[in-house]
Amino acid sequence: MIKNSIGEIESQVLWNRLISVVEEQAQTLIRTAFSTAAREAGDISAGVFDRRGRMVAQAVTGTPGHVNSMARAVGHFLDEFPIDTLKPGDALITNDPWKGTGHLFDLTVVTPTFHRGKAVALFACTTHVVDIGGIGQSPAGKQVFHEGLQIPIMHLAREGRMNEDLLRIVRANVREPVQVAGDIYGLAACNDTGSARLVEMMQEFDLADLEELSDIIITRSRQAMADAIAKLPRGSWTSCMTIDGFEAPVELVGTLTIESDIIRVDYTGTSGISSFAINCPLCYTDAYTAFGVKCAVAPWIPNNAGTLDSVVVTAPENCIVNALHPAAVYSRSIIGHMLPDIIFGCLDQALPETMPAEGTSSLWNLSLVAAHGLTGRADEIRTPFNVTTFHSGGAGARPRIDGLSATPFPSGVRNVPVEVTESITPVVIWRKELRVDSGGAGKFRGGLGQVMEVSNREGSPMGIYHRFERVRFAPRGRAGGKDGALGRLRLQSGKELSEKGFYVVPAGDRLIVEMPGGGGYGAPTERERDLVQRDVDYGFITASEAEQIYGLKKS
Amino acid sequence: MSKTSIRLAVDIGGTFTDLVLHLGEHFVSSKVLTTQDAPERGVLEGAQLVLKQAGISPADLDLVVHGTTLATNALIERKGARTALVTTQGFRDSLEIAYEHRFEQYDIYMERPEPLVPRPLRFEVPERVAADGTVLLELDESAVERLADRLVQEGVQAVAVCFLHSYQNHAHEQRAREIIARRIPSSVIAISSEVCPEIREYERTSTTVANAYVLPVMESYLRRLEQGFRDLGSTAPLLLIMSSGGITTIDTARRFPIRLVESGPAGGAVMALTVAAQNGIDKALSFDMGGTTAKITLIDDLRPQQSRHFEIARAARFVKGSGIPVRIPVIDMVEIGAGGGSIARTDLLGRITVGPDSAGSMPGPAAYGRGGTMPTVTDADLLLGWLDPKGFAGGHIDLSPDASRKAIDETISAKIGLDHDRSAYGITELVTETMASAARVHAVENGKDMAGRTMIAFGGAAPLHAARLAQKIGVSRVLIPVGAGVGSAHGFLQAPISYEVVRTRVMSLREYVPTAVAELFASMRTEAESVVRVGAPSAELHEERIAYMRYRGQGHEVRVPVPPAALESGGSDALHQAFEAVYQALYGRTIPRLDVEAVSWTLSLAERRRLPERDEPPAKQPAPMPQGKRALLDPCSGVEVQAALYARDLLKPGAPVPGPAVITEAETSTLVPSGFVAAINRAGHIVIERTA
């Protein structure tokens, strides 16, 4: 075997190996994580970078929000600490929303890998921690300063010694100090796992550095993206969508331009920033835009610097998808999750009959709390708790098949079992079922939302941080398909709640959460009659909807 | 089971039914075609065949051990009973909503499998139990009565009952069964607190429904099989192998047929375990590579890794989360879509990909000349000179190198500009790399490493790829056992009678009461013993107690063996230490000051089986003369070499066979690459060791 240059077969084997190394790094992180966002939803990221800070391989994890943001983060770390100033045993950390992955809850750790006395690569990983201090999980923060502790890019460890000063500050500022510190150790440890595996690989294949392999992987991926883009029609298309927003509706406007080997997305025309925490830093906008493009254009190409460079995202400063410091950004996912719908709206014009209808898109997580000062005084609350369970409405119908019911898109989270939530809190979930007539009617029906009914069995008040979307503006159908049903939030006793804020459910009452359905695709009258009848028999639609909207004749 | 007893093992696979008759020191084996419409026919025909060969009357049989994929196939092919689900009001969609998860991140056309029970057959009754077992809403018995009538009207053949938190309090489930059993035989009603008394409603429901779904099929099959053996004149007990690698009685199998899925591969792991014992191997890796998949299991101190997570009928790409989850005791194995028939292609980046789909036996690899045009791993093996074109698969098939070359040229070489030898080498390298990655990740997930392991390789395709795989994962010793082709059936006869019981009791170590845990285990022991004693009335029993534990706040538990001291006063310290030892091994660190809790507890009870004594290595013999030479591409150096050829049955124990060499036998060929040396040991197994 020739050793000075990497052969074709060898480079393919090494590429596979690198992907397996970062998957291992990611699994280690998920299995040791504390916050539900990380451990149930896989809201983490892991990847390996070359000396120049280019991402060579990334694990496919639960949520695409880190796809591009973490990839770019390593560049910011290297700007502050050039690679040859780093020593074995060093690790760097930040939670800067603009240099990391979009909000203070995400901690990113970067660790150099040394081989034959030289830094040959960097491992980076990100996880969503349980708490970061400040106003907590509320979307009502006005400035990033309200949202908790800010850690600028700095050393987490120097030559194997943890930065105890930093850890003490972290412990003093967060509500769950042991768990957060545990997650920080987990981040450092999973990078070490990745580094060890990489060094083993380099020894086995007698590689002095990663540069040649990194060039091969990035060049080939870049070329594959270019080839995929070259097959698309050239041109420019604009799509807009109105969503609920916080203090006022938000207009999202995107213009997608297909050039010879690159896709540009520009968000000029989008609403300005909010006074509340639904603002989105550009790195996070970049991540969900790239994800939407990749799903539509080239889902099979592994993520790395080569693929990510094929999508160029721009937005005017201080519009809601390019919010600048000191805007509050905690709930940036509300905006980010909507962006693939904008991409699909543009591509539907370029490539008709290939893009799904709009879906619920934003998650319908229930963040429930009973705590001093929030739901009552300490002496009135029997069991304090603070829990987030992940749930989703319906996804949009696809051009050939129905939308997925109660399934997230673009996020890739999974739910938390009802029995698990109830075993760690006094919460009782009385009902969790598919919501009839919520899927947008169409030749292909939108996915159904779901209904949940929740109470506190201890007869005490229970708070909910609500950060919901599609309550005032529905997910739209496509190609003649009808809109999905609007979401709705109310009390059993009758009161209707707004879609965002913090509300205390009175003792003894129940919260009823009705999640939106996905938009339909194609005219409902074109739906196969057998399927309409099946939907009636299954209780997915009512007989009256079948008759009035689908035009099903009574048999 | 004395040594001279006459024991028959039967393994029904998709294509063949394997039979092995053990007669003390020697055995007779046979393969017959599986009779899909009535599998017992093939079993009984095959049994008569091997008995006749051995000159034994059916009446002389002492024991029959049986494994079958019937339950698995019923689930994969959706050919089970018309099943209804009865559940807590408000939760009939739990089975359909599943994890609210997309298992394919980038695929906007992803589809989830349909639930086994369609919505109109999922019924709700008013009742509610809280997480701590208290009743929030009494069971509405009249509603259950009305429902029972409805179930009869709907013509359901099986019923699954699954109420929320029934793992804590099963009273409502039991009462519902009593009421429904007035109209529908209780033998086809499965209740979740018996099938899978574990927290997490979707997985418990899924397991209970899958169990109900296969109940009638398995019940009637087992009845016919039992009767068939009786008609032949055999009164031998019929035992069944479970996915845990233990065996159980026909009564338990009838009630919990879901525990029988994946029994064939479990048998393979038990065989590997026996070989490990015989050869004094403390750290083994069982590698089973057939036509469609490869399976890898870690066996430490003669214990295969155990797990309670399994997924049936995953979507085509073996994607995690795309199948039907069941929580049953299983031997933890990683299954990869990589076998001799796995199809090779290039992707749009010009990379070679192999599998996970397989050409199977029809049309099979291009080399079979049965109409297959896509190149497979077997085609690559053939082109590289690893296989003799004549006499493949016991002489049943002659292979065509021209067909392989054409398939590889068209599908691979033309796309990536390599000659067909390099392309073929690429196929074998990448399929081996895929298996190596899976093995590595599996080891890491279980806090294990590969160093110092011996690989035990069996299945038609394993002996060709084992040495290269071993090199990739840092294993320096490989063992190819005798009779690798019917390994699973051999394993059945070495499996112990056993049973595992699970309970969920969430318990913080701060509030840990050793006596309560001891009582819990005692009640589990009683339940397990009632099952095990039917098959092993007087055997010495071995008990294993496990706690599934985590730091409070985490979502994943680790499997912790419960030390005896944990059941005595002050036992929480002992359990805490046991947890930290496991956690440290898995993740390299523990977290100070954080509360630890146990979620679920299992007790498995097995008869103590006699493992074979360790064999002494044979005396050194002079190197044998090869029967010939063949040019082949050496997998470890990547260059063409002249390899010596040997017939396995002519090799004397202890005679060294240095690589590059090929050792041939009827069912398979073993490739010894350069840098390795092979020898037959006393028991006839091939031992390959790395020299460089």
Each residue of A276-321: pLDDT tens digit?
A: 999 999 999 999 999 999 999 999 888 899 999 999 999 999 999 9
pLDDT band (50, 70, 90) for residue A3: very low
Tell me whether strands A263-266 and A311-314 are parallel, antiparallel or unpaired: parallel
Mean pLDDT of A250-262: 97
Q: How far apart are CA B169 and CA B134, in angstroms?
A: 8
Q: Tell whether omega for the bond before A410 is within 30 degrees of 0, i.e. cis.
A: yes
Q: How far apart are CA B194 and CA B503, in angstroms?
A: 10
Q: Which domain, by its residues, includes A554?
A: 356-555
Closest chain A C-alpha to B339 CA, distance in angstroms: 18
Mean pLDDT of A51-65: 88
- pLDDT tens digits for range B309-353: 888 887 755 678 889 999 999 999 888 888 888 999 998 788 899
Answer yes or no: is A30 within a domain. Answer: yes
Nearest to B14 by CA among B241, B245, B292: B292
Of A178, A299, A418, the CB nearest to B593: A178
**For residue B37, what are its two tokens?**
């419409």
CA atoms within a 13 Å half-sphere pointing along the CA-CB vector of A144: 21
Of A15, A299, A434, the CB nearest to B93: A434
Mean pLDDT of A428-453: 98
Residue B336 φ/ψ, nearest 5 degrees: -120, 140
Of B100, B425, B440, the CB nearest to A408: B100
Mark out the alpha helices in A147-176 (DSSP H runs): 164-173
Q: Do A220 and B108 touch (CB under 8 A)?
A: no
Q: How far apart are CA B146 and CA B127, in angstroms?
A: 15
Q: How far apart are CA B469 and CA B49, in angstroms?
A: 38
Nearest to B196 by CA among B602, B607, B604, B605: B602
- The domain boundary residue, chosen from A189, A221, A253: A221
Q: Do B506 and A423 touch (CB under 8 A)?
A: yes
Answer yes or no: is A306 within a domain. Answer: no
Print burial letters for A309-346: b (CB count within 10 Å at least 16), e (below 16).
bbbbbbbeeebbbbbeeebbbbbbbbbbbbbbbbbbbb
- pLDDT tens digits for range B109-168: 999 889 999 999 999 999 999 999 999 999 999 999 999 999 999 999 999 999 999 999
pLDDT at A238: 98
pLDDT at A62: 66
pLDDT at A362: 96
- pLDDT tens digits for range A354-389: 999 999 999 999 999 999 999 999 888 999 998 888
Q: What is the mean pLDDT of chain B?
A: 89
pLDDT at B15: 67
pLDDT band (50, 70, 90) for residue B1: very low
In DSSP notation, B313-334 reads: S--TT--TTSSEEE---EE-EE
Mean pLDDT of A400-414: 94
Q: Is the pLDDT of residue A214 over 90?
A: yes
- The domain boundary residue, chosen from A186, A221, A256: A221
> What is the DSSP secondary structure assignment for residue A524, as one 8-state letter?
G
pLDDT at B4: 58
Q: Do B101 and A415 touch (CB under 8 A)?
A: yes
pLDDT at B130: 96
pLDDT at A34: 76
Q: Do A400 and B506 touch (CB under 8 A)?
A: no
pLDDT at A1: 32
Nearest to B306 by CA among B273, B354, B339: B273
pLDDT at B558: 87
B53 within 8 A of B37, measured Cβ to Cβ = no
pLDDT at B12: 84
Closest chain A C-alpha to B351 CA, distance in angstroms: 7
- pLDDT tens digits for range B364-379: 899 988 888 999 999 9
Answer yes or no: is A269 within a domain. Answer: no
How far does CA B214 lie from the centroid of its chain? 18
- pLDDT tens digits for range B161-220: 999 999 999 999 999 999 999 999 999 999 999 999 989 999 999 999 999 999 999 999
Contacts of B422 in chain A (CB under 8 A): 8-9
Place of tokens 């006005």: A142
pLDDT band (50, 70, 90) for residue A446: very high
In DSSP notation, B637-678 reads: T-SEEEEEEEEGGGPPTT--EESSEEEE-SS-EEEE-TTEEE
Chain B interface test: which of A3, A6, A13, A436 (most B C-beta within 10 Å): A13
Contacts of B101 in chain A (CB under 8 A): 407-408, 412-415
B109 within 8 A of A398, measured Cβ to Cβ = yes
Q: Do A300 and B348 touch (CB under 8 A)?
A: yes
What residue in A sits closest to B553 (Cα-Cα)? A34
Helix (H, G, I), strand (E, B) or coil at B550: strand
Question: Does an H or E element contain A379, and which?
Answer: none
Query: Sheet harboring B541-551: ordered strands across?
Result: B498-508, B596-607, B541-551, B558-561
Q: Which residues contact B1 (CB under 8 A, 6 or more apart)?
A: B7, B62, B63
Q: How far apart are CA A110 and CA A112, in angstroms?
A: 7
Q: How far apart are CA A517 and CA A446, in angstroms?
A: 6
Q: Do A32 and B554 touch (CB under 8 A)?
A: yes
Q: Do A453 and B90 touch (CB under 8 A)?
A: yes
Helix (H, G, I), strand (E, B) or coil at A196: helix
Q: Do B426 and A418 touch (CB under 8 A)?
A: no
Contacts of A227 in chain B (CB under 8 A): 348
Of A294, A413, A430, the CB nearest to B106: A294
Closest chain A C-alpha to B573 CA, distance in angstroms: 20
Q: Do A538 and B165 touch (CB under 8 A)?
A: no
Q: Is the pLDDT of residue B513 over 50?
A: yes
CA distances to A50, B130, B505, B509, B568 from B513, in Å: 53, 22, 12, 8, 9
Closest chain B C-alpha to A325 CA, distance in angstroms: 31
Q: How far apart are CA B464 and CA B296, in angstroms?
A: 16
Q: Is the pLDDT of residue A555 over 70?
A: no
Q: Is the pLDDT of residue B3 over 60?
A: no
Instruction: Write down the ipTM of this complex.
Output: 0.94
B315 within 8 A of B323, measured Cβ to Cβ = yes
Range in A79-88, A113-122, A230-239, B498-507 with the lowest mean pLDDT: B498-507
Answer yes or no: is A438 within a domain. Answer: yes
How much of chain A exceeds pLDDT 90, in percent?
Answer: 81
pTM of the model: 0.92
pLDDT band (50, 70, 90) for residue B396: low
How many domains are contained in chain A? 2
pLDDT at A40: 66
Closest chain A C-alpha to B152 CA, distance in angstroms: 19
- The domain boundary residue, chosen from A173, A191, A221: A221
Q: Is the pLDDT of residue B613 over 80?
A: no
**For residue A382, what are its two tokens?**
């029997």
How many CB atoms neighbour CB A533 within 10 A? 15
Mean pLDDT of A70-75: 92
Chain B interface test: which of A127, A185, A419 (most B C-beta within 10 Å): A419
Q: Do A391 and B111 touch (CB under 8 A)?
A: no
pLDDT at A4: 38
Tell me whether strands B306-307 and B303-304 are parallel, antiparallel or unpaired: unpaired
Beta bridge partners of A444: A521
Q: Is the pLDDT of residue B67 over 70?
A: yes
B231 within 8 A of B188, measured Cβ to Cβ = no
